[in-house]
Amino acid sequence: MDGPAGGQRESDGTAPAVPLNIVVLGLPGAGKGTQAALYGRTHRIPQISTGDMLRQAIAHRTPLGRTVEAVLARGGLVDDATIVALVQERLAQPDAARGFLLDGFPRTIPQAEALDRLVDGRGTLAVISLEMDPEVIVERILSRRVCEGCGQTDVGTPPADFCASCGGNFVKRADDQIDVVRQRIQTYVDHTQPLVDWYSARPAFRRVHGDRPMAEVAHAFAAAIADALHIQG
């Protein structure tokens, strides 16, 4: 999609002229991680997944990991202050200066308000809501596997043996069990759906329909970001 005259993504072939500050919202299993990873790779901006950061902390038995383990196991939400501190630290890293893709954050209105403060002065925040029917989601999550090395989801048919990005093994996520999945969907409906409504009045908010082939979603996803930020796709 074309932006306004002079609206450009690349200024010198390496650095984007407009920072690509992007939030991806969507039910667990809607494809946020897959789309964020793909877009992040092609546009050279980091995909920041709070879920992956928390799972890494749990795997490494850090103090944070020990604190949040039970919350993830039951499909609840980690408290806002802990998550905001994690994101604040990550957004301050140099690789996020040209933009970032937040996947799984914010999940509550207080987190979104904190994010607004964190990105104040850093350019427009595009908010993409990846939308899917919750019943399709349950099937999708129960059959998915993720790389234990880098968190990438295996979407191939037939399933891959090893992760093409890091060589890690694909495993089932500990919280991809039916009861926990239903609780995570309920948590989304209770806490994150109101956030989608809260963001929906903003000019840089876009909805993308996620229940279609991955490449089609990727195309619509990139077009929605370009449209929201008035850049070339």
Give contact residues for ligand AMP (rule: CB under 6 A): 28, 50-51, 54, 71-72, 75-78, 83, 104-107, 111, 184
* Radius of gyration (C-alpha) of the chain in whole angstroms: 17
Nearer to ligand AMP, 21 or 50 (CB): 50
Active site annotation includes 90: no
The single residue of 32, 55, 98, 140 carrying the catalytic annotation is 32
Nearer to ligand AMP, 40 or 106 (CB): 106
Nearer to ligand AMP, 16 or 33 (CB): 33
First-to-last C-alpha distance (Å) of the chain:
6
Nearer to ligand AMP, 111 or 124 (CB): 111
User: Which residue is listed with tokens 């993720």?
Assistant: 146
Nearest-approach distance from CB 28 to ligand AMP, in angstroms = 5
Q: Which amino acid is at 149?
A: G
Tell me the residue nearest to ligand AMP as measured from the CB. Answer: 51
The single residue of 55, 98, 140, 144 carrying the catalytic annotation is 144
Active site annotation includes 32: yes
Strand, helix or coil for residue 12: coil
CA 23 – CA 115 distance, rounded (Å):
10
| Alpha carbon distances (Å) from 125 to 100, 143, 163, 165 | 10, 33, 31, 28
Active site annotation includes 207: no
Nearest-approach distance from CB 58 to ligand AMP, in angstroms = 9
Structure-token pair, residue 233: 């796709």
Closest by CA position to 129, among listed 43, 40, 45, 198: 198
Nearest-approach distance from CB 99 to ligand AMP, in angstroms = 19
Residue 176 CB contacts under 8 Å (≥ 6 apart), including other chains: 141, 142, 144
Active site annotation includes 41: no
Nearest-approach distance from CB 138 to ligand AMP, in angstroms = 14
Which residues are known to be catalytic?
A: 32, 107, 144, 173, 184
